[in-house]
Amino acid sequence: MSDSHSIAIRQSVQTSVERPGDGLDRSLWARTAAPAPALPVLRGSHRAEVVVVGAGYTGLATALALIERGVQVAIVDAREPGFGASGRNGGQVIPVFKHEPQAIMARFGEEAGRDMIDMVMRSADDVFALIDKYGIACDAERTGWIQGARNAAGGQVLHRRCLAWRKVGADAQLLDADEIAQLSGTTHFRSGWLLGNAGSVNPLKYARGLASAAVGRGASLFVGSPVVRLESVDGAWRVATPEGELHARRVVLATNGYSTRLWPGLRESIVPLYSMQIATDPLPAALGASILPRRQTMTDDRHLVHYFRRDAAGRFVIGARGPFRPDPSAHDARRLIAMARRLYPQLDEVAFPFRWAGRVAMTPDFMPHLHRLAPGLTTALGFNGRGVAMTAAMGRVLAQACLDDGDRRLPYPVSALHPIPLHRLHRAGVQMMMSYYRLRDRLA
């Protein structure tokens, strides 16, 4: 693309934009990451070839993919890089969809389905390639991911899932009771499977590293600048914030679970849930070695899943669905602490000083959605808890969508935007479903 519309954007500095009540002060990742760099607020009127709204994984991966193709990019965020789910998640890099491959090909067709499967299976490679290419220090490990079954029925489901992904080329291995006990350090599970090419990162370090890489290669990144208006003017887009505006022929909306009413129906196309986590201080060496001794990350097979891991310093981290707020209380953490001690009784006297939460964007079909909202306006959202891996791959797709203007078939299908009926009632509906699934998990 030509750089005729790009300019050198002057940077007026603002420091990190944390606010009371958003839970960042209790986040393990915020406590262990270097402070966020000073970045500018958007002031005045500027131009770029592509404007990316949102400085989480999706937006930053898209920006880097565009920069690699010589495109001038401006990124704007209401808060700061990694403020949302990108800086608060469990850091598990899981390169498979929640659906099995045959179900994907049956729905999307053989060719498109195979492209999607190949894309997700390469997504962990994409994450670790970005980390290596840009020298991102984010405690990256590639030790694999385990999913464990609590009973025989769950074991049959995971057995089928493992074989289905292995059939299409995934590095998948079945685990019997002895093998999963050895790898997990708990006898809580009857069987499971191991995805060998999965891994983990410190999610906030990774997000801030992507942001530094983008800025270091010429992107303009503005923080503390919520987009309040988006409009098409003479074949281009005007992206307005309280103190400034950006003009570009192409815009990518990368707001995911933090989407607003900026574009009609976008926020209503996903269900934002909160996932909360707790963490210990670094465990003594002997105690730490008894929990996930080979440092895989892990998820159970509940409807309301628990996911857990150890971080680079040996802390134990566990997460699950949380209340509808970003700053969970000590009372909210009790159920998670009880689960941690049920899995690992040796944690009975260990404190959990960290607790935090973030939004997860869920879709009705549990698949990410890619939309061309209007000429020159593209978005992808709804990563359903698999966003650490999938956003790295989706960033390349969004970059291609910006450059091709719909002329070529993308490796991920574009779908029409469908707001969820009665979306305003989603919170009550989700709470009812959580109560139902919690009961089913208890009875299983």
Domain boundaries, given as residue ranges, for the chain: 1-144+201-269+365-444, 145-200+272-362
At 194, phi and psi to the nearest 5?
-120, 125
What is the DSSP secondary structure assignment for residue 420, as one 8-state letter? P
Token readout for 95 is 């390169």
Task: Give residue 219's pLDDT.
Answer: 98
The larger pLDDT score, comparing residue 208 to residue 404, is at 208
Token readout for 276 is 């909360």
Name which of 280-284, 317-321, 374-378, 430-434 the model is least confident about. Answer: 430-434
- Contact (CB, 8 A) for 193 and 147: yes
Round to whole Å and give the CA distance between 380 and 363: 12
Task: Give residue 429's pLDDT.
Answer: 62
As beta bridge partners, residue 237 has 232, 248
At 13, phi and psi to the nearest 5?
-85, 135
**Which residues make Cβ contacts (< 8 Å) with residue 96, sequence separation at least 6?**
120, 121, 165, 170, 195, 386
Mean pLDDT, rounded, of the chain: 91
C-alpha triplet 54, 60, 66: angle, nearest 5°: 115
Task: Give residue 424's pLDDT.
Answer: 63
Residue with tokens 């685990």: 175
Task: Give residue 10's pLDDT.
Answer: 30
417 has pLDDT over 70: yes
53 has pLDDT over 70: yes
pLDDT tens digits for range 367-390: 999 999 999 999 999 999 999 999
Calculate mean pLDDT across residues 262-267: 91
**Which residues make Cβ contacts (< 8 Å) with residue 221, sequence separation at least 6?**
39, 40, 55, 74, 75, 76, 77, 81, 211, 214, 215
pLDDT confidence bin for 164, thresholds 50/70/90: very high
At 124, phi and psi to the nearest 5?
-65, -40
As beta bridge partners, residue 145 has 195, 297
Topology annotation, domain 1-144+201-269+365-444: FAD/NAD(P)-binding domain (3.50.50)
**Which residues make Cβ contacts (< 8 Å) with residue 282, sequence separation at least 6?**
288, 313, 314, 315
Round to whole Å and give the CA distance between 306 and 319: 6
Task: Give residue 345's pLDDT.
Answer: 98
pLDDT tens digits for range 308-361: 999 999 999 999 988 878 889 999 999 999 999 999 999 999 999 999 999 989
Task: Give residue 303's pLDDT.
Answer: 79
pLDDT confidence bin for 14, thresholds 50/70/90: very low
pLDDT confidence bin for 261, thresholds 50/70/90: confident
Q: pTM for the complete prediction?
A: 0.91
Closest by CA position to 80, among listed 34, 37, 139: 37
154 has pLDDT over 50: yes
Calculate mean pLDDT across residues 176-191: 98
Round to whole Å and give the CA distance between 393 and 368: 12
CATH of segment(s) 145-200+272-362: 3.30.9.10
Distances (CA, A) of 349 to 28, 190, 197, 296, 344: 20, 26, 34, 24, 11
5 has pLDDT over 60: no
Query: What letter represents residue 67's amino acid?
Result: I
C-alpha triplet 433, 358, 317: angle, nearest 5°: 95
- Contact (CB, 8 A) for 55 and 12: no
Percent of the chain topping pLDDT 70: 89
Give kind and range of the element (H or E) at residue 120.
helix 110-121
